[in-house]
Structure 1
Amino acid sequence: MGTNHHYAQNHQQNANCFTKKLIAWALYSLIPLALIHFYLFPISPAQTPPITETTIEHSKQTNPQCDYFNGTWVKSTINPLYNGKSCGTIKKGQNCMVHGRPDSGYLHWRWKPENCQIPPFDPTLFLELINNRHVAFIGDSMARNQLESLLCLLSTKSEPELVYRDSEENKFRRWVFKEYNVTVSVVWSPFLVKGLEKSAASGLNHNKLYLDSADEKWASDLNKFDVMVFSIGHWFLHPAIYYERERVLGCHHCPEFNHTEIGFFGIFRKAINTTLKKVKDELNMSDKLVVVTTFSPAHFEGEWDSAGACPKKVPYKQGEKEMEYMDTEMRKVEIEEVMTAAKEVEAIKGRLRIEALDVTRLALMRPDGHPGPYMNPNPFSEGKKERVQNDCVHWCLPGPIDSWNEILLEIVKRWRY
């Protein structure tokens, strides 16, 4: 009995020893295999942003069910991250502080959706989430307005370097945040489809739109962009002739021509549809983000050059101002086209993400946020005037449009997480 017990004990020890050696050999054999794998399939930094405490903390704050469209503006004691002097990329016409706007109450309101919270903009988090990526704002002057807001917000963390501009028009510009290898561009394309703009230089007093062709000014660089923010609308209100399949489809406000008057709502839909189709055809299986910023209403009261064209000094209260028909229809087109495009990508299990940045109502409720006469420096330095240029379309920087980029950050968080 003793001998058998001693033999069994030695046998068990030998077996344990062999098992430990086998595990060790297996672990050692994995090392060269792992090295070969990472050599052949390296982790791309563009797919793996740095994981920091900021990123981890904010990952807990995403709210995919948030309805940003419905809400109200609430008083805030938080000062803007930047001002008219600290940010050097503000277009002069939107620099209300430097141009002498005397009131500052418009700077202290925050948009509060009904069913969720929007955290204050975090420039560090935004830059971390899009490190090694290219963000492009594509569209008209509202796209540029939102771009300049984002540049100012991000510049409080990292200084942007202008690396490209087109002569003096500044319709095509590109900046780099070297610390994060982030590129931000603006691309002028007021219709998103191929078009000729009316101007004194061209001799045209109406626009020409070719609705079945995406504008090559952005479409030719589509694969270079990782985040695309499209923003158009106001140029569709101007007189125009519309073409499709190389024939005249109709026109808007063109009595001097023998063309059918067809308005612009359906045309606007065709332009958005052509844009999203182009993006889907090129990028369906790409891990990229497409955002459509919805229509931003103007707030003219009377003539554009009359004193007090946009005189309000506080936001509208909830229920005080309803959206007008045109604003409702423009937004409706964008929301419906985005939803349709997103469902089509989902149906084929594509990786492209398409979302609407729904700002129409929050913009409508801020008649106090425009430059008005302060689109020009010190417009009343020589006393009051009966006639003065007013901008009741674009937004002061800093101002309400900064909230659009707070929502954009929430959309980027959902995309990245």
Structure 2
Amino acid sequence: MALNFWSHLLPQAFAVLCAVASPLHQVQGNAFQINQLNQQKGCDFSLGRWIHDHASYPLYDATRDCPFIVQGFDCLKNGRPDKEYLKYRWKPSGCDLPRFDGVKFLERYKGKKIVFIGDSISDNMWQSLTCLLHIAVPKSNYTLRRPTKYLHVFSFPEYEASILWLKDGYLVDVIRHKEQGRILRLDSITSGNMWRGDVLIFNTYHWWVREGTSQTHFQVGNEIIKDMDPLEAYKIGLTTWSKWIDSNIDPSKTTVLFQGIAAAHSEGKSCLGQTQPEQGAKPPYPGVDIVRSVLSNMKTPVYLLDITLPSQLRIDGHPSVYTGRGTSFEDCSHWCRAGVPDTWNEILYAALLGN
């Protein structure tokens, strides 16, 4: 299955962002500078702990409130017997995440297009956001379309707002070769013409390091390399993406975010039967340093949604065998709805609208 996600922050004066709730693209500065600013203020959303909040969580009932959520993420409907995993809130060290206000979100982004671009972990977050917005305006009509095999469009006609998921797991070009199989062209992007919206939320990582990567070939220029370290390939590919963003995105018109590395628990002890978050510090997660390094060298402001530690601690948040595909299939990479991705969207809300 899939594997992981990340950390980093935006422009100068995040305090101003929080105070006036101005859109991210109106603020300027390097993401690392802002991350340091937030740490000084005690408001680094990436660090904290999970606490019980039975009064406020879960934020919705997936089966009752969100009939469009796919079967594999609706763990209760698929027979998961415990419910405590639904009742945890992420508490950043030194501050609180602002409460998600779906009406305010839709009013702010009226007439706008928000696009998730990435793999199935992007799908997790996209489905969570569509649900959070739908329950905020339950009487407002919505449409859900799939105009192509890879594009899903959720729209609120009343607000002329659309939330899209474009499946593009590697971001760089993929070639299917008869004899050599899958080839990733690490220095080539031709799908960028599809990356259009007012807010772009990118994600890539899981497919680079998942089981079966050893059968993937990598190409740089005219050279095809079979035995490249997947993380080295990831760094080259992510750098190619960053250069594309810097060359093609106008930050005065488009806000760019990167969905950080969401930790999978596919190795070590199984996620089956896990009912509580883990506590304490965690070791550095593979790939996170690459993401930070690449983003810090970009000229375009990119807000890193740092969700690595929050997801590392939630071994209980995966569907496990409750995917609707039978007990022989265990998913310790994706996430139950309601659940952990709702917190990712609370961080997204804080980044886009402030306190």
Query: Do both proteins adopt the same fold according to a TM-score greater than 0.5, normalized to the shorter chain?
Result: yes
The residue that corresponds to 1:207 in the other structure is 182
How far does residue 390 in structure 1 lie from its aligned partner after superposition? 0.6
Where does 1:135-284 land on structure 2 (aligned, <5 Å)? 135-158=114-137, 159=140, 161-162=142-143, 164-166=145-147, 171-196=150-175, 206-216=181-191, 219-222=192-195, 224-237=196-209, 238-239=213-214, 240-248=216-224, 250-251=225-226, 261-284=227-250
The residue that corresponds to 1:396 in the other structure is 336
Change (3 A) 1:332 1:172: same
3-state DSSP class of the match of 1:373? coil
Change (3 A) 1:206 1:316: farther
Give, in whole Å, the separation in 2 of the partners of 1:263 and 1:314: 34
Unmatched 5+ residue regions in structure 2?
1-16, 25-33
3-state DSSP class of the match of 2:304? strand
Give, in whole Å, the separation in 2 of the partners of 1:59 and 1:97: 36
Contact 1:300–1:310 (CA under 8 A) maintained in structure 2: no
Give, in whole Å, the separation in 1 of the partners of 2:77 and 2:141: 21
The residue that corresponds to 1:360 in the other structure is 308
How far does residue 268 in structure 1 lie from its aligned partner after superposition? 0.9
Change (3 A) 1:403 1:215: farther
How far does residue 280 in structure 1 lie from its aligned partner after superposition? 1.8
Contact 2:271–2:315 (CA under 8 A) maintained in structure 1: no
TM-score (norm 1): 0.70
The residue that corresponds to 2:59 in the other structure is 81
Give, in whole Å, the separation in 2 of the partners of 1:359 and 1:329: 13
Where does 1:348-387 land on structure 2 (aligned, <5 Å)? 353-376=301-324, 379=326
Change (3 A) 1:323 1:162: farther
3-state DSSP class of the match of 1:375? coil
Structure possessing the higher radius of gyration over alpha carbons: 1
The residue that corresponds to 1:111 in the other structure is 90
Give, in whole Å, the separation in 2 of the partners of 1:112 and 1:355: 20
Amino acid at match of 1:243: Q
Q: Where does structure 1 differ by over 6 angstroms across 4 or more consecutive aligned residues?
A: 55-58, 202-205
Give, in whole Å, the separation in 2 of the partners of 1:358 and 1:410: 12
Where relative contact order (Cα < 8 A, 6+ residues apart) is larger, the structure is 2
Change (3 A) 1:59 1:370: same
Amino acid at match of 1:266: E
Give, in whole Å, the separation in 2 of the partners of 1:117 and 1:282: 35
3-state DSSP class of the match of 1:212? coil
Amino acid at match of 1:299: H
Change (3 A) 1:206 1:176: same
Give, in whole Å, the separation in 1 of the partners of 2:280 and 2:141: 38
Give, in whole Å, the separation in 1 of the partners of 2:204 and 2:350: 21
Give, in whole Å, the separation in 2 of the partners of 1:211 and 1:278: 12
Deviations 1:325-360 (A, max 9, x none): xxx23111112212221xx24xxxxxxx41100001
3-state DSSP class of the match of 1:126? helix
Unmatched 5+ residue regions in structure 1?
1-54, 252-260, 346-352, 380-386
How far does residue 87 in structure 1 lie from its aligned partner after superposition? 0.1
RMSD: 2.7
3-state DSSP class of the match of 1:69? coil
Give, in whole Å, the separation in 2 of the partners of 1:162 and 1:212: 37
Amino acid at match of 1:209: L
Contact 1:371–1:392 (CA under 8 A) maintained in structure 2: yes
Which segment is superposed worse, 178-187 or 362-371?
Answer: 178-187
3-state DSSP class of the match of 1:280? helix
How far does residue 68 in structure 1 lie from its aligned partner after superposition? 1.6
Deviations 1:271-322 (A, max 9, x none): 222112212211235321111111111113569xxxx553311000123xx2
Amino acid at match of 2:257: V
Give, in whole Å, the separation in 1 of the partners of 2:297 and 2:18: 32
The residue that corresponds to 1:330 in the other structure is 287
Deviations 1:155-200 (A, max 9, x none): 0123563353146x5x311121112111111111110001136xxx
Give, in whole Å, the separation in 2 of the partners of 1:407 and 1:56: 13
The residue that corresponds to 1:312 in the other structure is 274
Contact 1:129–1:412 (CA under 8 A) maintained in structure 2: no
The residue that corresponds to 1:22 in the other structure is none
The residue that corresponds to 2:112 in the other structure is 133
Give, in whole Å, the separation in 2 of the partners of 1:298 and 1:96: 17
Give, in whole Å, the separation in 1 of the partners of 2:19 and 2:223: 55
Change (3 A) 1:153 1:291: same
| Number of aligned residues | 315
Amino acid at match of 1:336: S
